[in-house]
Structure 1
C-alpha cells in the first residue's frame, strides 16, 4: 500500500512514538530470528493432506518464485471436495509467524493481500508464511449453495482446514511450527475471522476483523435487497443517481460536520447527526442539478432508515449507512445512470436463490423479497451456519486469543452498527473487564468499506496486534493517515470500478487535505486541542466516551446472543 505523504512522515514517526509510549517500546513484537528452509520446495509436493481434508486432498504444485520481491516457495493445493488454497513460504526471511487472510463478497478466488497493514515491517520483509483459500468454489454465481458440503466449506470449513494445511506445510518446510499465528480479513473476510474465533479458538493467536459481514443472512437479503428496491421506480429504473451524491453529501456535511467538535469535512460521531434529506428538496424553478427532487430525497431517507415491516413498523436491520457515507454509495446502490445495475442487486440474487433459505428457493428474485418480520424469521434456520454474531468468546479468551475489530464510519456495504452491536453483546455476555483484556474496536471517520473514502484510511493494525500477542502490550490509539492508494482487500467482486464493476463517473468532489490522526478504541472519541491543526496528529488527545454510532432495538437483536453453531 502507498505510504503517507512525504511531508507527514516525520510527523507520523514522532506521533507514533508519543502514542506508543515506553510500555510498547519495551514489550513490542518478539525479536524472532529468521529461520531458513530446511527442505526443498519441490519436496512439499509430497506432503500428505488426506488426514486434514480427507480422500482426494493433495498438494497440486510447489514452485520457487518471488512475491513482492521476497523469495518464496508457492504451494497450491486442494482439500476435498473443492477447497483450493495457496501458501507462500519464504525461503530465507521467515520469522516464525503465520498469517492467513480472508476474502470478500462470496469469495470464489484466492487473494493473498493483507490490508490494514500499511508499513508493517515484518510483513514487508517477508517474515510471515501466508495463506488464503477460495472457500471451496469459484465465482459469484451461488449455485454451489445447493450442495451441503460446499455450504459448510464457505460457512466455516475452508478457512479452518486451510489453516491446518498451511501449518503442516510450514512444519515440513522449516522443520518447526510457527511460533505465532494470525488471521486478517475484511468484509466477508471479517466474518471469516470471527468464525475462526468462535468455532476454532485455538487456530490463531491474534485475529483482525474489519467491517465484518457477520450478519450474513440479513446483510445479503434484507439490507442490500432494500437498498436496491428503495432506489427503483415502478419500471425498475434507478431514481437517485451518482451525480446527486455530492449535493446530498454537501448538505450532510453542512448540517453535521461540526457536531463532533471539529469542522474537518468528516463526521466522527454520526450518532449526533440529525439530517433530513427533504431539506435539500428543490424549490419551484430551481436548478435540479443543485438540489434533490422529492423522489430522490425520499430514496435517501429510505437508505438511512432501512426496511421496516409495513404492518408493525419494526426495523428489519441492525443499522443502515451513516450520515457522511454518501459519496461511497456510488456503484453499490446508486448507479451512474438510470438503467445501470447496482452491486446490491448482484449480491442479493445468488444469496436469495441458493444460500439464505432452507430449503433453497432457486426461482426467487429480488421482486419476490418481502420486507417483513416473517422474512426475518425465515432467515433464522441458517443463522447458526453462516452468521458470526455469537458474543460468547469464552473459549477464545481462555486460549489467550486477541481480537481487533475495525470499521469505517462511511462504509456503504455493511452498517457499522452491526460491529458496535457485537461489541456491546460481548460486554453484556463476558463483562467489560474481560472484553478489555482481549478485544479492541476502532471506528474510522470518513473511511469506506475496508478502506478508501475521504477519511484517513492508511493504518497498520497488524503491528500492534503482534505487540499485543507477543509482548503483552494492549493497543490504545492507532494512527491513521491519508492515502491515494486503493486496495482490493475485502472488496466484494463487482462492488466498484476495479473490482469487477462498471466504470464509474467522476463525481467532481475535491479530496480533503492530507491528514494524519489517531483513533482511540471505542467508545473513546478523539478531541482536538483548541487552535490545533486537525490534519496533524499532535493536536489530538483522547476525548470522552460517547455513543458514536447508534444501535437500535429490532426483532433480530437476539441474533447477537449465544448460539450453537450448525455443522
Structure 2
C-alpha cells in the first residue's frame, strides 16, 4: 500500500504545482434538481412498504438565518425509531448524507461534522438525515426490550436510510445519485455495521473512532479504567491535577521519537512510559508529582484490561500522549467527582449485554475480568459488534470506506481501528482492501475532536471526491480546533448539554468541566493515509503543514 500512497502523493503534488498540500476536489458536476412535490405532501406518503414497519411522519418547511430553506420530515418507524430528514427546497445536487449518533444514542440530531470545503454540506444542497436509534434519553432501561436492543444495534440506522431514500424519490422524482454515511464513536460503529450488514445502503462511509468492539469497549475497557482508578476508600486515585506531570513524562519519553520535539507524539506505539518517573521524592505535590498509589493506577491504565493471570481482555489500551484527555472520562476533577467510565460500563453490563440481565447488578469492582466472562458476552457481540472484516459486499458495489482515529483518544483506543484495518487486509487481501479503504491517524487528537493536536480536517470532501471521481484521499490537512469552553473542547461522546436548535434532544446533564488549558498556537499538519506519516522537512514553521512530507 505504501508504494501506492507515495505515487498518489507525487501525482497530487505535481497537480498542485510541485510542493503544495492541496486538498482533494473532484466532486462530480451534478445538476441541481427541483422538487416535483410539495413539502406538505411528504406527510401523507405511506413509508411502511419502504421501511418494512408501520411508519408515520410530519413535514414542514423550515427557513433558518443564513441557511438554505429545507423540508423537514420528522417521523417514527415502529416501534419507536425516530428519524429526521432535511430535503433542500431548491438546488438539491442529488446527494444524501446520513449522520451517526454517539454514546448509547437516545437523542435525535443531525451532526455533519468535518465538512470544511465540502460545498454540498456547507451550502445546504444535500439531503441530511439521522435517527435516535429507537429509544429516547439516557435511561438504559430500554435494554430490557430485545427489539430496542436490535434497533440500537443495527436496525435504526438501516431503516432510516430506507425511509430517507423513499422520501427523496417522492420529493424529487428520482433517487440520490450518491449516498453517504458519516459517524464517530458509536456513530463509527454504526458506519461499519452499515458496510458489513447493509452494504447496499451507502456509496461512501466514514467511520471515526469506531466503537466496533462494543461489548469489550463498554464492559472490560471502561470497567477496567474505573476499577483501577478507584481506591479502597471508593474515591478516585488519579485526579485532574495529576495529568500534567504524567503527560509531561510521556512527552519527555517519546516526543522526539519522530525526530521533532513539537509537543505531540506521532506514533505512540513506539513509546514506552514509566509512570514511576513521576513519583514524589517527598510529600505529594498536586500537579507536580504522583504518589505510589497514583503511579500504580497510571501503570494499570497504560497496561489495559487483563485477567488476574495477565491475559489481555481488550484489543489495545489507551496510548501515551492521551493523558490530558483522560480528564472527565475516568479521571475526575476532584475526589468527589464521578468516574464516568464506571457509569458507561455499569449501564452496559447491567442492561444491554446479557439475557436476562444480571440478578445482582455488577459494579466495576465486582465485574469478573475473566476469559469466561468474554465467552458469556458472545451473544451480545454477535448483535452489537462491528468487527466482521469481510467487506466484500460493500467493495463489490464500489463502496469506499475511510477509517479515522485520534491517537489521544481517551474513550476508545486507536489500536482497535488499526487491528480492524489489518484484519480486513488479512480477510480480503491487502491489495483488495487498499482499493476501497483508507485509514488516517491523527497525533494528539482526542475522541472525535479536540486534544492538543490538529483535529479538524476535510473528511467529507475527501470521501465524496473518492466516491465521485475515484480520487482516493492520500492526505488530510488538519488544523487545531477552536476550544468550546475554558480552553478545552467538549468530549464528543457521553453526557452533554444539548446544542442550540437540537431537534428533539432530551435535556442531559453537562459533562463535568475540564480544567482550563493553555492557549495553543494555531497548527496545521498533513496526516497521510496509513502507514505513511508526516515528517518535518527541516525548514519552515513546525505549525505549518507545508513544512512536512510523507515518509514510511
TM-score (norm 2): 0.91
Task: For residues 84-130 of structure 1, give each alpha carbon's deviation from its aligned partner in whole angstroms, at most 9, with x where no partner exists.
Answer: 00000010121100000000000001111112222322210112100
SS at match of 1:290: coil
Q: 1:539 to 1:55 in 2, by over 3 A?
A: closer
Q: What's 1:74 paired with?
A: 72
Q: How does 1:285-304 map to 2 (within 5 A)?
A: 285=283, 287-304=285-302
| Structure 1 position 142, deviation (Å) | 1.4
Q: How does 1:320-335 map to 2 (within 5 A)?
A: 320-335=317-332
Matched, 1:531 2:523: no
Structure 2 CA distance for aligned equivalents of residues 173 and 225 of structure 1 = 47
Structure 2: how far apart are the matches of 1:503 and 1:160?
A: 34
Provide the residue aligned with 2:344 in structure 1. 347
Q: Secondary structure at the match of 2:187?
A: helix
Once residues 183 and 160 of structure 1 are traced to their aligned partners in structure 2, the CA distance between those partners, rounded to angstroms, is 11
CA contact (8 A) 2:21 2:545 kept: no
Alignment-derived partner of residue 21 in structure 2: 19
Gap runs ≥5 in structure 2: 1-14, 500-507
Q: Which residue of 1 aligns with 2:406?
A: 408
Match of 1:164 in 2: 162
Aligned to 2:471: 473
Aligned to 2:335: 338
Distance change in 2, residues 1:175/1:289 (3 Å): closer
- CA separation in 1, counterparts of 2:177 and 2:306? 49
How far did residue 486 of structure 1 move? Answer: 4.4
Uncovered stretches (5+) of structure 1, i.e. residues with no partner: 1-12, 545-567
Q: For 1:315, which of 309, 312, 328 is the aligned residue?
A: 312
Is 2:240–2:515's contact at 8 Å kept on the other side of the alignment?
A: no
Compared with structure 1, are the counterparts of its residues 274 and 348 closer, same or farther at alpha carbon in structure 2 (3 Å cutoff)? Answer: same
SS in 2 for 1:236: coil
Q: Residues 369 and 501 (structure 1 numbering): CA distance in 2 closer, same or farther, change over 3 Å? A: farther
**Does the C-alpha gap of structure 1 residues 286 and 375 become closer, same or farther in structure 2, counting only changes over 3 Å?**
closer
Q: Distance in 2 between matches of 1:167 and 1:227?
A: 42
1:495: Cα distance to partner? 6.5
For 1:214 and 1:496, the matched residues in 2 are separated by 25
Q: How many residues align?
A: 526
**Which whole-Å CA distance do the structure 2 matches of 1:177 and 1:291 have between them?**
61
2:491 matches 1:493: no
Relative CO higher for 1 or 2, CA cutoff 8 Å, sep ≥ 6? Answer: 1
Q: Kindly indicate whether the alpha-carbon contact (under 8 Å) linking 1:524 and 1:543 is maintained by their aligned counterparts in 2.
A: yes
Q: Does 1:457 align with 2:455?
A: yes
For residue 395 of structure 1, the aligned residue among 389, 393, 408 is 393
**Distance in 2 (alpha carbons) for counterparts of 1:285 and 1:79:** 61
CA distance in 2, matches of 1:269, 1:347: 28
Deviation, 1:428, is: 0.6
Match of 1:42 among 40, 43, 49: 40
CA distance in 2, matches of 1:225, 1:169: 42
CA offsets, 1:232-266, max 9 Å, x none? 11121111100111121111112211112211100
Contact 1:450–1:489 under 8 Å retained in 2: no
Q: Is the 8 A contact 1:331 1:496 kept in 2?
A: no
Distance 1:35 1:50, change over 3 A: same
Task: Judge conservation of contact 2:222–2:345 (CA < 8 Å) in 1.
Answer: yes
Contact 1:16–1:479, Cα closer than 8 Å, also in 2: no
Secondary structure of residue in 2 paired with 1:37: coil
Provide TM-score, normalisation by structure 1: 0.89
- CA shift, 1:17, in A, is 8.7
CA distance in 2 between partners of 1:226 and 1:298 (Å): 14
Q: How many Å separate the matches in 2 of 1:442 and 1:259?
A: 20
Deviation at 1:148, TM superposition (A): 1.6
Deviation string, structure 1 residues 460-516 (Cα, Å, up to 9, x no partner): 111111111110111101110122154999922327998734442524x42332111
Q: Distance in 1 between matches of 2:444 and 2:143?
A: 35
1:103 corresponds to which residue? 101
Aligned residue in 2 for 1:559: none
Distance in 2 between residues matched to 1:74 and 1:136, nearest whole Å: 19
CA RMSD of aligned residues (A): 2.2
Q: Find the aligned partners of 1:399 and 1:362 in 2 and give their Cα distance.
A: 46
Separation of aligned partners in 1, 2:67 and 2:307:
54
